[in-house]
Chains A and B, each alone.
Chain A
Amino acid sequence: MLNQIGHNWWDYFFLVYGIALFMWYFSFILLAILAIRKNKKRVGFLNVKDIKKAIDLPSISLIAPAYNEGKTIVTNVRSLLSIQYPYYELIIVNDGSKDDSLQQLIDDFELSTVPLYKGNENIDCKEVVGIYKSQNPKYSNLTVIDKVNGGRADAINTGISYAKTKLILCTDADCIIEQDALLKMVRPYLEQLDKEVIACGGAIGIANDSKIKNGTLSELRLPKSIIARIQVVEYIRSFLLGRMAWTQIDGLLLVSGAFGLYPTKRVLEVGGLDKNTVGEDLELCIRLRAHMERQKIPYDVVYIPETLCWTEAPSTAKIYAVQRDRWARGLWETMKKHRYLFFNPKYRSMGLVFFPYWIFFELCAPIVEFLGLIILVIYISLGWINLPFAIYLFIAVYLIGCIFSTISILLYTISFRHYAKPKILIQLLIAAYVEPFINHPIMVFAEIKGYFKKIFKIKSSWGNMTRKGFTSK
């Protein structure tokens, strides 16, 4: 039978790789179902109403870097200031914006400068030009730090160095955070007993074209752009299947940069975010885990499946490609930096299972896919291919992909109410089924481009992520 499949060893390699990948995904489904069931049962006994009025909650600094966010900065800061949590400070770090973001903040929140003081010196960051506090007692928990431009990681590091709280929440100034998000995110820290929680992430949803009222999401709609709509499915699949599955086996290596809560002490111990990578969220999580492994302190990385943070996804192919190019470079840099973990028994499961998975199936997947496409083209031109067989194989693989996406949508429908209308679900299913022909090729191309830049040391920055911004209606 195998003779019919391939001529050379690489044919078998692609077959084995494909089967291994499908096996992983299948395991993810089983693990995610277990994790969702467990979470659903537990969450009924973790009512945030019980702790709403408590005076014993840990304080949190919400750190949001802003670069040229003039269009939406005031609305977003108002939204971030209205979060329900008794003890939090909001630190907006203006990362050398060239627009009038800072002036808008000064005018709207009655800010005035306070004498400059140094933040925590364990963290290296670019020069701070000014620190602003509001004259209005209503905004007493708002601090705006104006600094020389140094990128997202540098801006967050600045915020961390000035944070005076036990926990820090890293987010973006253009994210919409659910009102009770902090109360929910803090839960794992309150529940920890034998394991220290070193990071907690929440699900992130896509809110393009949705209705925003007073800085909160009043009506969730599907994005009009097909590129963004397909990303809704991608996020559901990645957050609900991927992260829930990893949580079930304590293998979560990534907490999204747009919404992650960390203990200040541990982040300071590892020196904050790495400014030399564009994948700073993944890198921080891996570094924190490795740090705890070295110290032999039991730890946990927690994921909360409820969507607590809404963001705007790229709505054009060009911006989408820029984003995926950056993510690919971030992944490459992080894997390279932490290559010492690869099959290193000193780091237990992290070194023996989780990190190798990331190398084989996250880092290498686009390369294998790209090589597969090249070989396919060569085979077709040499007439080595059994065309009907190839078409059937393609259909079967495509259908397996569709099944994985449909299962994610089904699990999401059962667990959450966001996309519970038949029309929306049909639109989501269609988006899932056209993904392999629209977003996926762009993604593979962008990832290969990102790796190419890394291999040939082509200098590249964060990339221009033009956003429309949420508009209040």
Chain B
Amino acid sequence: MLEQQLIQLIFLLLLILGGLWLSIGYSLLRRRYRVKRKKQLKEQVIQYVSINYTKSLPISKFVVPHWLQGYIKKSRDLRDVANIIINIKDFFITDRDTWSFLFATDVTVAKELKADIKSNNWYKKSRAIWISYELDIDQNLDLIAKLNSHKHILVRREAQIALVRFLGWKSLRILPYVKFPISLWQQIRIVEKLHQYYPKFDDTFFKKAIQAESPSSRELCLRIIRRFHVQNYNWYAIQELFSEHKYVANMALELLDELSFDEDDLKLLGQHYQAYKLRANNVVLDQKLTPLLQANN
């Protein structure tokens, strides 16, 4: 009886094994098809871009070709097209830093993206936001802006980056209102995107950003000061040096080496330091500040 059951089990297991072999075969074929299709798409996109890029037509004159329309109507293919364009961006050296001529005129893409941004699926949302800022499609900016404090970390991260990409320094206005902590990864991305697309420091909006109270936003402000070599915010760095949040204080300490202080700064530093010593003791801070203050006495 039991032997019979075991034989049945063996057949079932063999069936499962056979199913797995078929799945491996299918996954190989699927991969081969996808690779071939991607290669074909890449060639078509490169050819299209290289032909049209040399034409100095106004954006409104560009019409997305029929074959490309077919691709961008499918969400997955649209991601592939976006990936290809992002990858080839670096190889076309030109004074035009935007690729919107490919898509800006076509409402289909923005429409597709809008539907995904509104979707309840976090992955679709984040991917649509990513495509929007990588391809300079800003038609859905209002929708994206609302997602900067979304409960899903990847959605809000992509939304924040999109705001930085589209609005530049102006996007920093939201820092005092950001509800969730900003990870170091995200801080680095924000700083690097600003540096890449908006290399000129803008005091107007930074003034608003430094009003943020959350430790990670303050840490981000310190990173901006460092990346853009901003000199007129020494007082902010000095103030954060004595922050009760160790990450903020550590960041300010790292920044210290890169700032040059005038007499007023040193006076302020001395005052803060004296007040701090009354309530806490920090050996690393002592080692760093004592020689600096003594040398300037």
B17 contacts the other chain (Cβ, under 8 Å)? yes
- Which of B13, B24, B126 has a CB less than 8 Å from the CB of A425? B24
Q: Are B3 and A388 in contact (CB under 8 A)?
A: yes
- Which of A42, A400, A410, A429 has a CB less than 8 Å from the CB of B13? A400
Q: Are B28 and A425 in contact (CB under 8 A)?
A: yes
B289 contacts the other chain (Cβ, under 8 Å)? no
Q: Within 8 Å CB of B158, what residues of A?
A: 45
Q: Are A399 and B6 in contact (CB under 8 A)?
A: no
Q: Within 8 Å CB of B13, what residues of A?
A: 396, 399-400, 403
A376 contacts the other chain (Cβ, under 8 Å)? no
Interface class of chain A by DSSP: helix
B27 contacts the other chain (Cβ, under 8 Å)? yes
Q: Are A45 and B130 in contact (CB under 8 A)?
A: yes
Please, how many angstroms separate the alpha-carbon atoms of A396 and B15 in the complex? 12
- Min CB gap B126→A, angstroms: 6
Please, how many angstroms separate the alpha-carbon atoms of A389 and B181 in the complex? 61
The 0/1 profile, CB within 8 Å of B marked 1, for residues 287-305 of chain A is 0000000000000000000
Considering only residues 128-178 of chain B, those with a C-beta below 8 Å from chain A are 130, 154, 157-158
A192 contacts the other chain (Cβ, under 8 Å)? yes
B46 contacts the other chain (Cβ, under 8 Å)? no
Stretch at the interface among A48-56, A94-102, A136-144, A146-154: A48-56
- Min CB gap A34→B, angstroms: 14
Q: Are B10 and A407 in contact (CB under 8 A)?
A: no
Q: Are A45 and B126 in contact (CB under 8 A)?
A: yes
A57 contacts the other chain (Cβ, under 8 Å)? yes
Given A56-B223, A399-B13, verify A50-B188 contact (CB < 8 Å).
yes
Q: Are A193 and B181 in contact (CB under 8 A)?
A: yes
Q: Within 8 Å CB of B192, what residues of A?
A: 50-51, 53-54
Please, how many angstroms separate the alpha-carbon atoms of A62 and B181 in the complex? 30
Please, how many angstroms separate the alpha-carbon atoms of A288 and B247 in the complex? 22
Please, how many angstroms separate the alpha-carbon atoms of A403 and B10 in the complex? 12
Given A399-B13, A409-B24, A413-B28, verify A1-B2 contact (CB < 8 Å).
yes
Please, how many angstroms separate the alpha-carbon atoms of A187 and B186 in the complex? 11
Q: Within 8 Å CB of A56, what residues of B?
A: 184, 187-188, 191, 223, 226-227
Please, how many angstroms separate the alpha-carbon atoms of A102 and B274 in the complex? 51
Q: Are A396 and B6 in contact (CB under 8 A)?
A: yes
Q: Within 8 Å CB of B239, what residues of A?
A: none
Considering only residues 386-429 of chain A, those with a C-beta below 8 Å from chain B are 388-389, 392-393, 395-396, 399-400, 402-403, 406-407, 409-410, 413-414, 417, 420, 422, 425, 429
Q: Within 8 Å CB of A187, what residues of B?
A: 185
Q: Within 8 Å CB of B126, what residues of A?
A: 45
Given A392-B6, A392-B7, A396-B6, verify A420-B23 contact (CB < 8 Å).
no
Q: Are B9 and A396 in contact (CB under 8 A)?
A: yes
B123 contacts the other chain (Cβ, under 8 Å)? yes
* Interface size in chain B (residues, C-beta < 8 A): 38
The 0/1 profile, CB within 8 Å of A marked 1, for residues 1-45 of chain B is 111001101100110110011011101100100000000000000
Please, how many angstroms separate the alpha-carbon atoms of A399 and B7 in the complex? 12
Nearest chain-B residue to A407 (Cβ)?
A: B20
Q: Within 8 Å CB of B187, what residues of A?
A: 56
Nearest chain-A residue to B6 (Cβ)?
A: A392
- Min CB gap B147→A, angstroms: 14
- Which of B25, B127, B188 has a CB less than 8 Å from the CB of A54? B188
- Which of B130, B183, B227 has a CB less than 8 Å from the CB of A55? B227
A4 contacts the other chain (Cβ, under 8 Å)? yes
- Min CB gap A35→B, angstroms: 16
Q: Are A41 and B123 in contact (CB under 8 A)?
A: yes
Q: Are B7 and A406 in contact (CB under 8 A)?
A: no
Q: Within 8 Å CB of B21, what residues of A?
A: 406, 429
- Min CB gap B250→A, angstroms: 10
Q: Are B20 and A403 in contact (CB under 8 A)?
A: yes
A190 contacts the other chain (Cβ, under 8 Å)? yes
A115 contacts the other chain (Cβ, under 8 Å)? no
- Min CB gap B253→A, angstroms: 13
Please, how many angstroms separate the alpha-carbon atoms of A393 and B223 in the complex? 64
Nearest chain-B residue to A421 (Cβ)?
A: B28
- Which of B2, B10, B17, B28 has a CB less than 8 Å from the CB of A422? B28
Please, how many angstroms separate the alpha-carbon atoms of A110 and B191 in the complex? 38
Nearest chain-B residue to A388 (Cβ)?
A: B3
Considering only residues 179-208 of chain B, those with a C-beta below 8 Å from chain A are 181, 183-185, 187-189, 191-192
**Chain B contacts to A: CB under 8 angstroms:** 1-3, 6-7, 9-10, 13-14, 16-17, 20-21, 23-25, 27-28, 31, 123, 126-127, 130, 154, 157-158, 181, 183-185, 187-189, 191-192, 223, 226-227
Chosen A-B contacts, 30 in total, with CB atoms closer than 8 Å, are: A1-B2, A51-B185, A51-B188, A51-B192, A54-B191, A54-B192, A55-B226, A56-B184, A56-B227, A57-B188, A190-B185, A191-B185, A193-B183, A389-B3, A392-B3, A395-B10, A396-B6, A396-B9, A399-B10, A399-B17, A402-B17, A403-B13, A403-B20, A406-B17, A406-B24, A410-B23, A413-B24, A413-B31, A425-B24, A429-B24
- A sample of 19 more A-B contacts (CB under 8 A), given A1-B1, A45-B126, A422-B25, is A44-B130, A46-B185, A51-B188, A51-B192, A56-B187, A56-B191, A56-B227, A189-B184, A190-B185, A190-B188, A191-B184, A389-B2, A399-B17, A403-B17, A403-B20, A406-B21, A407-B20, A413-B28, A425-B28
